[in-house]
């Protein structure tokens, strides 16, 4: 067991960032102390949180009872002795290194030795604070993004002496509070700001050089990157002085390329607050602006990889999750084409006499590989990781091809492996848009090919020479849940959620769900889950045998590795009795009644509200899909798993070629209720 077991959090500095970080921690259900210099400042920070939560209630993001719970997790104080039993402290005080050092000295005195101490600094190195910390192996950087209660991205930064255990615990703590962590070296600006600040600055330079007016630069930048705000509007929103400070800091450390453009310096000297965004757009200037901004982005993103500051994947995740760009720098680079991107980056670098990074020099014409699925060696175990958090790691053909490749590599190591997702989800299903596009263009064969590929891959996941484990730390839905039940074991964090929502969208689980699920938890429970789409939390999933273990975040990795070194499971026998007393009525009901009996009202719920709810949910599903599931259960029950799985492939066309499939899938994309065909008795 790790010495860092993070259950209680504290945030120092109740300003813009600190209050938001504390709010997020409390919202995710963890106790958090918010500390500032005096009670008045603490109260101001608490009021920022209360106001935001009240707005959330108005906008129906939160229910009043939820807000009460969140606030109950928070405690504001200026008494540092209350930090004695805290497990992770996040410092978010003024960006002044002396103030920060004094805070870390004070924390070293007030906190236990195994409390992880983190800084949210934007412009200093983490190592700048080492001398102020006792046991600096627990010092870490956790760099959040505004607004930290909403923006999921966090950069996790170790200094040279940070222990791997402290780093792993800090990382897990961020998953526990619903963040999407990325790895960063202890380098100037860390990952995202290093390319985002020059991106903004390039807009300023274009303006200063008179290439175009401000409105044109805004327009072109938005169009080229597919973003909602251009550099000037963004500066207005975050505060122009912050941009000036960020460019200055990077410029001082890294040289003229990063230093603020003269137009920004001049603007700050006027004392005005906001750039005026008014003006006529000159569309003829698009190419020159887009090329300059892309060139700068490609240059810096590549430089970050060359310097070992971040991986290609994390740089792209940073842009998608932290900046909400629809594509990361490397995706954009590949879309633009390597040759052209190289010359754009060369042009950006040449102005400041810089060399273009090796990764760009060596890039092959088909593009820089982006590992949507990656493989890493963690000792006795290999980890296969899904790296598409902005899309909740949804499965598509590219993911399958890469997954296939990594599975082969993982097997070649002769070690067990663990599957895990990055961000909020393990895997939240298949790519719905692909299904809808395929159906609309009459290309069902593309769907059949995709499902066939997935089935083939999933069939290799369990029962092999070495065990496989799914590490669930968030959502595992649809294809993601089917992937998990294909592995030998499932280990979940307390906030994991599993579900099979296919019948809500007019189809059935076609990646083994109709056959593996009943063999894992018994037919009655499998029917309950597939017919109602009911999501299960980790504890309930454990109680019915759907998963094998629940572990707190700080123990999640270790528990997965433990299960991975067990024997792999060859075949599962469907349980024939209910393993969980509280669920007996559900078991009996679904064991006894058919879909038609339930939906026609013949089945007796005996006044049980859970069953009544289940029936209501079923009535909202696609009847056609429910009947297909039922038939697959019945027919598959008497077959060996291999043969039973073939039934799914056989019936897939029947599901997808029915009107309910296009209706259900389209409704999901459009965010509306589906209008399914009703059974005759309805
Ligand atoms: N604002 C952003 O967008 C952003 C983004 C990422 C990181 N950061 C970093 O987060 C940190 C905080 O930034 P902010 O924008 O929240 O600043 P802020 O000025 O809004 O808040 C700072 C808070 O720290 C408190 N404080 C100052 N000295 C203290 C001390 N010795 N002990 C306890 N509290 C103290 C202040 O009273 C104030 O409430 C900075 O390091 C900043 O670089 C900011």
Residue for token digits 């010359």? 343
Q: Choose which residue among 19, 92, 245 to substitute to test ligand 1 binding: the one with the highest number of ligand atoms within 8 A of its C-beta.
A: 92
158-196 pLDDT per residue, tens? 999 999 999 999 999 999 999 999 999 999 999 999 999
How far is Cα 621 from Cα 616, in angstroms, rounded to an integer?
9
DSSP 401: H
- Distance of CA 123 from the midpoint of ligand 1 (Å): 12
Nearest to 541 by CA among 472, 608, 629, 459: 472
- Which residues does 193 contact at the CB level (< 8 Å), separation at least 6? 122, 246, 250
pLDDT in tens, 86-111: 999 999 999 999 999 999 999 999 99
CA-proximal residue: ligand 1, atom 2 (nearest): 146
Residue 33, strand partner residues? 10, 75
Choose which residue among 11, 13, 146, 150 to substitute to test ligand 1 binding: the one with the highest number of ligand atoms within 8 A of its C-beta.
Answer: 13
Residues 321-342: tens digit of each pLDDT: 999 999 999 999 999 999 999 9
The pLDDT, as a whole number, for residue 20 is 98
* CB neighbourhood size of 639 (10 A): 13
Ligand 1 atom 29, closest CA:
93
Residues 6+ apart with CB under 8 A from 20: 48, 52, 144, 146, 147, 148, 149, 150
**Ligand 1 atom closest to the CA of 123, numbered from 1:** 43
Looking from the CA of 95 toward its CB, the CA atoms found within 13 Å total 13
Residues near ligand 1 (Cβ within 6 A): 12-18, 35-37, 41, 92-95, 99, 103, 120-122, 144, 146
Distances (CA, A) of 636 to 485, 510, 611, 640, 646: 17, 13, 26, 8, 9
SS (H, E, C) 62-107: CCHHHHHHHHHCEEEECCHHHHCCCCEEEECCCCCHHHHHHHHHHH
Phi-psi region of 379 (alpha: psi -120 to 50; beta: other; left: phi over 0): left
Distance 94 CA to ligand 1 centre (A): 4
φ/ψ (deg, to 5) at 12 = -105, 125
Query: Which candidate, 426, 433, 482, places its Cα nearest to that of 459?
Result: 482
- Give per-residue pLDDT as tens, 126-157: 999 999 999 999 999 999 999 999 999 999 99
| Ligand 1 site-directed mutation target among 10, 11, 12, 18, most atoms within 8 Å of CB | 18
The confidence band for 295, taking pLDDT boundaries of 50, 70 and 90, is very high
Residue nearest to atom 30 of ligand 1 (CA): 37
Distance 15 CA to ligand 1 centre (A): 5
Give the SS3 label for residue 660.
helix
Per-residue pLDDT at 442: 83
Q: Is the dihedral of CA 605, 607, 612, 614 positive or negative?
A: negative
Tens digit of each residue's pLDDT (9 = 90 or more) over 611-644: 999 999 999 999 999 999 999 999 999 999 999 9
pLDDT at 1 > cutoff 80: no
Task: Answer whether the bond into residue 260 is a cis peptide, omega within 30°.
Answer: no
**What are the DSSP calls for 177-212, one per residue?**
TT-EEEEE-S-TTTTHHHHHHHHHHHHHHHHHTTSS
What structural domains does the chain harbor? 9-184 (3.40.50.720), 192-362 (1.10.1040.50), 373-670 (3.90.226.10)
What's this model's pTM, rounded to 2 decimal places? 0.93
Position 571 confidence tier, pLDDT thresholds 50, 70, 90: confident
Q: Tell me: the pLDDT tens digits for 520-532? A: 999 999 999 999 9
CA dihedral 44, 45, 51, 55 (to 10 degrees): 160
Ligand 1 atom closest to residue 17's alpha carbon, by position in its atom list: 16
**In angstroms, rounded to a whole number, what is the distance separating the alpha carbons of residues 429 and 420?**
14
Q: Which residues neighbour 509 within 8 Å (Cβ) at sequence distance 6 or greater?
A: 478, 479, 481, 482, 500, 502, 517, 530, 648
**Res. 244 pLDDT band, cuts 50 70 90:** very high
What per-residue string of b and e applies to 253-281 under the rule 16 or more CB within 10 Å gives b? ebeebbbbbebbeebbeeeeeebeeeeee
With 0-12 / 13-18 / 19 or more C-beta atoms within 10 angstroms meaning exposed / middle / buried, residue 98 is exposed
Q: What pLDDT sits at residue 572?
A: 87
Could you tell me the distance, in angstroms and rounded to a whole number, from the CA of residue 16 to the centre of ligand 1? Answer: 7
**Cβ atoms 432, 505 nearer than 8 A:** yes
Residues 527, 540: Cα–Cα separation, whole Å: 16
Q: Residue 530, SS3?
A: helix
Cβ within 8 Å of residue 587, ≥6 positions away: 522, 524, 525, 528, 577, 578
pLDDT in tens, 588-605: 999 999 999 999 999 999
The alpha carbon of 121 and the centre of ligand 1 are apart by a number of angstroms equal to 9
3-state secondary structure (DSSP) of residue 384: strand
Q: Name the 3-class secondary structure at 400.
A: helix
What spacing in Å lies between the alpha carbon of 96 and ligand 1's midpoint? Answer: 9
pLDDT tens figures, 450-465: 999 999 999 999 988 8
Residues 100, 89: Cα–Cα separation, whole Å: 13
Average the pLDDT over 250-271 and give the result. 97
| Residues carrying an active site annotation | 122, 143, 155, 193
Q: Over the chain, what is the mean pLDDT? A: 96
């Amino acid at each position: 067991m790790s010495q860092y077991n993070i259950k209680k959090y504290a945030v120092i500095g109740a300003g813009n960032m600190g209050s938001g970080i504390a709010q997020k921690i409390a919202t995710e259900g963890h106790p958090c102390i918010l500390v500032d210099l005096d009670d008045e400042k603490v109260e101001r920070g608490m009021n920022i949180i209360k106001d935001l939560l009240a707005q959330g209630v108005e906008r129906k993001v939160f229910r009043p009872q939820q807000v009460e719970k969140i606030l109950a997790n928070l405690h504001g104080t200026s008494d540092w002795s209350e930090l004695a039993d805290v497990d992770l402290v996040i410092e978010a005080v003024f960006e002044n290194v002396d103030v920060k050092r004094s805070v870390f000295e004070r924390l070293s005195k007030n906190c236990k030795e195994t409390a992880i101490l983190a800084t949210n600094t934007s412009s200093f190195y983490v190592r700048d604070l080492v001398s102020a910390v006792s046991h600096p192996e627990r010092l870490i950087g956790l760099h959040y993004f505004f607004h930290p209660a909403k923006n999921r991205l966090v950069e996790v930064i170790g200094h040279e002496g940070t222990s791997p255990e402290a780093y792993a615990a800090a990382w897990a703590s961020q998953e526990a509070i619903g963040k999407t962590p990325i790895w960063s070296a202890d380098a100037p600006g860390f990952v995202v700001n290093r390319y985002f600040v020059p991106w903004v600055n390039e807009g300023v330079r274009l303006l200063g050089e008179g290439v175009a007016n401000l409105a044109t630069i805004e327009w072109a930048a938005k169009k080229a990157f597919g973003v909602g705000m251009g550099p000037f509007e963004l500066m207005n929103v975050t505060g122009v002085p912050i941009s000036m400070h960020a460019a200055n800091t990077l410029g001082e450390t890294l040289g003229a390329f990063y230093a603020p453009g003269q137009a920004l310096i001049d603007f700050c000297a006027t004392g005005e607050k906001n750039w005026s965004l008014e003006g006529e757009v000159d569309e003829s200037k698009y190419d020159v602006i887009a090329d300059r901004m892309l060139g700068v982005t490609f240059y810096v993103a590549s430089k970050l990889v060359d310097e070992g500051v971040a991986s290609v994947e994390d740089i792209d995740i940073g842009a998608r999750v932290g900046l909400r760009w629809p594509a990361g720098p490397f995706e954009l680079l590949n879309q633009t084409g390597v040759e052209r991107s190289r010359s754009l980056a060369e042009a950006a670098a040449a102005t400041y006499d810089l060399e273009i990074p090796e990764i760009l020099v060596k890039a092959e014409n088909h593009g820089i590989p982006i590992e949507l699925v990656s493989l890493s060696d963690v000792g006795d175990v290999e980890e296969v990781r899904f790296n598409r958090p902005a899309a909740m790691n949804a499965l598509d053909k590219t993911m399958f091809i890469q997954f296939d490749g990594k599975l082969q590599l993982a097997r070649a190591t002769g070690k067990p492996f663990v599957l895990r997702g990055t961000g909020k989800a393990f895997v939240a299903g298949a790519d719905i848009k692909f299904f809808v596009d395929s159906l609309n263009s009459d290309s069902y064969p593309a769907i059949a090919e995709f499902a066939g590929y997935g089935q083939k891959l999933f069939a290799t996941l369990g029962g092999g020479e070495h065990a496989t484990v799914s590490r669930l730390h968030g959502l595992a839905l649809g294809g993601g849940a089917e992937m998990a039940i294909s592995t030998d074991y499932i280990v979940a964090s307390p906030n994991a959620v599993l579900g099979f929502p296919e019948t809500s969208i007019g189809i059935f689980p076609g990646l083994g769900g109709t056959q593996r699920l009943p063999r894992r938890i018994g037919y009655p429970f499998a029917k309950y889950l597939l017919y109602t789409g009911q999501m299960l939390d980790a504890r309930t999933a454990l109680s019915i045998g759907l998963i094998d273990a629940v572990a707190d975040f700080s123990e999640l990795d270790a528990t997965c590795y433990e299960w991975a070194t067990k024997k792999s499971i060859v075949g599962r026998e469907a349980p024939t009795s209910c393993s969980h007393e509280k669920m007996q009525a559900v078991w009996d009901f679904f064991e006894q009644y058919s879909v038609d009996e339930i939906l026609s009202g013949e089945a007796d719920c005996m006044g049980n509200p859970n069953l009544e709810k289940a029936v209501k949910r079923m009535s909202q599903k696609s009847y056609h899909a429910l009947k297909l599931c039922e038939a697959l259960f019945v027919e598959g029950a008497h077959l060996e798993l291999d043969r039973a799985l073939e039934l799914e492939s056989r019936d897939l066309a029947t599901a997808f070629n029915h009107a309910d499939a296009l209706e259900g899938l389209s409704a999901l994309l459009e965010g509306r209720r589906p209008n399914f065909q009703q059974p005759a008795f309805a």
